[in-house]
Amino acid sequence: MANNNDIIKIKAIARHHGLFITLTGSLALLVIIWLSSFYWQQARLPLLFSVLAALVTIFIGLLKLAEPTYSLQLSPETLTFYHRYGRWQLPWQQIGNIHAVTNTFGITREELNYVGIKLNSIETIATSISLRLANRLIHEQKPLLHYCIKHQLIPLNQGVLNFSPYSMRDGSVLKGPMAAFLHHSAALEQALGAQLFISANSLNGSIDDFVHLANGYLTKARSAAIKSPR
């Protein structure tokens, strides 16, 4: 984490060691190519397999490097999530609570690898998230929907991608991917009590540590709002 004037930036675990993995794969590929010039006829299959393994390593490293430098930024005014497909940004005043996502069935309490963000109004999402990211998150969060259906937290029909228009309180109607994301978020809210989710891969520590940190900012923002003159 980098702290500068009450702003904390978090670098995702998913980005860690990207340069090292890329360079390791590239060096391995060069060594394999050099060995192939001497032993291709004697060891064609092992060398071919090694080339493929090196290429996969390079690809994984490049994917890590393609991630944003920071995945999250917490400031006294806003919480911002960065993704290679865009971002969302929320004022703390629009956030109801931040919690680790769990589910209890019987006597078993299962912790999911997500932070849940409960908004004061689901419609906040429409003006806070980029369209590309909204469309991407629908697909990235399919495992969450499947989990909810499996444990009967939502009916099967709510797990189907829903592109029907979404009617806002002000009378406007959203269509396309944004409407689908709002339907998707509403279904997850019904099941898990949150509309936005941050994967553990976007953090650089434990979920509980981030929840504690974020709730500290949330509490301070609420206190500042109460003290500020109206």
Per-residue pLDDT tens digits for 94-141? 999 999 999 887 778 889 999 999 999 998 998 899 999 999 999 999
Q: What is the mean pLDDT of residues 180-190?
A: 93
Average model confidence (pLDDT) for the chain?
86
Task: Find where tokens 């991917």 sit.
Answer: 177
Confidence of residue 185 (pLDDT cuts 50, 70, 90): very high
CA–CA distance, 98 with 90 (Å, rounded to integer): 12
The Cβ of residue 18 has, within 10 Å, a number of other Cβ atoms equal to 17
Question: Where is pLDDT greater, at 86 or 33?
Answer: 86
55-79: pLDDT as tens digits: 888 887 777 677 778 899 999 999 9
Q: Which residues contact 228 (CB under 8 A, 6 or more apart)?
A: none
111 half-sphere exposure, CB direction, 13 A CA radius:
9
- List alpha helices for the chain, DSSP H: 18-39, 44-66, 124-128, 131-140, 142-150, 176-192, 207-227
Indicate whether 190 pLDDT > 70.
Answer: yes
Q: What is the mean pLDDT of residues 20-45?
A: 80
| Identity of the amino acid at 69 | T
Helix %, strand %, coil % of the chain (to 5): 50, 25, 25
Dihedral class, residue 169 (left if φ above 0, else alpha if ψ from -120 to 50, else beta):
alpha
Q: Given this model, what pLDDT does residue 14 score?
A: 63
Q: At what angle do helices 131-140 and 142-150 cross, to 10 degrees?
A: 40
Confidence of residue 17 (pLDDT cuts 50, 70, 90): low
Question: Where is pLDDT greater, at 23 or 63?
Answer: 23
Q: Which residues contact 164 (CB under 8 A, 6 or more apart)?
A: 179, 183
CA–CA distance, 113 with 115 (Å, rounded to integer): 7
For residue 228, which phi and psi values (nearest 5 degrees)?
-65, 140
Query: For the chain, what's the residue count?
Result: 230
The residues spanned by each domain of the chain are 2-66, 92-227
Q: What is the mean pLDDT of residues 5-25?
A: 76
Report the predicted TM-score, pTM, of the whole model to 2 decimal places.
0.80
Name the DSSP letter for residue 101: E
Tokens of 7: 């702003």
CA–CA distance, 67 with 145 (Å, rounded to integer): 24
139-176: pLDDT as tens digits: 999 999 999 999 889 998 888 888 899 988 888 899 99
